[in-house]
């Protein structure tokens, strides 16, 4: 079964789709985006091991391969959300109850 997330990046107006599929102990990733920087990121991050998805940010391939992205890009976080859900580390029932993670500007 595949886990999917969509990232609608307000400030840059780009849309990214992340699909993760568990195949044995590897999570295969399909990342499509209107952002050229994410397209390059997707070329580098085609798969990630279950062992790697729990690593800290400094050692995690989803973040270490994101060096060329802006610091406020939410896509690496969405990649890991999809991976964790696909690996069964986040309850999909819980995700159905709370399907979004938001960062909201307050004046």
Q: How confident is the prediction for the chain on average, in pLDDT?
A: 94
* Mean pLDDT, rounded, for 68-82: 94
Q: For the segment 23-55, what is each residue's pLDDT rounded down to a tens digit?
A: 999 999 999 999 999 999 999 999 999 999 999
Task: Check residue 86 and give its pLDDT.
Answer: 96
pLDDT at 11 over 90: no
Residue 44 to residue 63: CA distance in whole angstroms? 12
pLDDT at 92 over 90: no
Element spanning 6, H or E: strand 2-9
The CATH fold assigned to 2-97 is: Sufe protein. Chain: A (3.90.1010)
Task: Check residue 78 and give its pLDDT.
Answer: 96
| Ranges of each domain in the chain | 2-97
Residue 35 to residue 9: CA distance in whole angstroms? 10
- Strands across the sheet with 2-9, in order? 2-9, 14-23, 26-33, 47-49
Question: What's the pTM value of the predicted model, to 2 decimals?
Answer: 0.93
């Amino acid at each position: 079964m595949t886990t999917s997330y969509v990232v609608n990046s307000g400030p840059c107006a780009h849309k990214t789709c992340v699909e993760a599929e568990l195949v044995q102990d590897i999570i295969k990733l399909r990342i499509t985006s209107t952002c050229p920087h994410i397209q390059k990121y997707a070329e580098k991050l085609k798969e990630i091991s279950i062992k790697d998805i729990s690593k800290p940010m400094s050692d995690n391939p989803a973040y270490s391969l994101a060096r060329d992205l802006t610091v406020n890009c939410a896509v690496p976080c969405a990649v890991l959300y999809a991976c964790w859900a696909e690996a069964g580390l986040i309850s999909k029932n819980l995700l159905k109850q709370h399907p979004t993670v938001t960062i909201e500007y307050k004046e």
